[in-house]
Every structure is written in structure tokens, then in C-alpha cells.
Structure 1
Amino acid sequence: MEDVDHVFVFAVRLVAVDQEVLTALEKAAAEAEKTRSKGAASKNKTDRTPKRIPVGKSDDASGGGGNCG
């Protein structure tokens, strides 16, 4: 009967380890998906051409703008 007890204890421990491994794999998969989705969003942002913000004197050809020296 002692052998059966050892086998049962081993099986219980094995199931517990399997659950820990499964939980770790699920967490890793969720983190990988989160990272992928962030990477896709940031890539889309960098693909855009940034708009230039004018600073200082206007280069307007009419000459009617402010900041005329």
C-alpha cells in the first residue's frame, strides 16, 4: 500500500507542477501579445510624416505677417 501512496503523492505533485507551468505559459503568452500590440501601434505612429511647426519669423511671400524686423 505504501507504493500506491508514493505514486499518488508523485501524481499530485506532477499535476501541481503542470498547473504552474501552464500558468507561466499563459502569462508569457499574454505578455507577448501585449508587447506585439504595443509594437504595432508604435510602428504605425513612426510611419507617419511629422508636420513641421513653424517657429520664429514667417517665410510668407506677402510680407504681411508679424515678426517683420
Structure 2
Amino acid sequence: MQKTLIILGVLLVIIGLGWPWLSKIPLGRLPGDIIIDKPGMKVYFPITTMIIVSLVLSLIIRFFHK
């Protein structure tokens, strides 16, 4: 448990330091992300973004698990 918390803490620090560059990545605005924008209502379904994030996380976990 301690090792997991330390790794998560280091990852959060790295993400925090890299945020100016990470915010320029167009995740959330990819083709396939559904945005319904009507007066008084905005619905957002980031389908493509969720698939890409899931694939990247799966590859990272598989790489570190073996």
C-alpha cells in the first residue's frame, strides 16, 4: 500500500509540473467526442477521449505489471 501511494504521489507531482504542456494536448476535443449544446443545457460525452485514455492506461499497467 505504501509503494502504491508513493507512486501515485510522484505521478501527481509530475502531472502538476507538466500541466502547462499537458493542457495543450487536444484531449476532450477529439473527433468522436459528442457535444450537445442547446440553450440552457450542455451535455458532453468524451467517447474518443475515454477510449484513448483507457488504451494508454492499459498499456502502462501491462508494462509495469510484467
Higher relative helix content: 1
Give the alignment's TM-score, normalised by structure 2: 0.34
Higher relative strand content: 2
Give the alignment's TM-score, normalised by structure 1: 0.33
Q: Which has the higher contact order (CA 8 A, sep 6+)?
A: 2
> Which one has the largest radius of gyration?
1
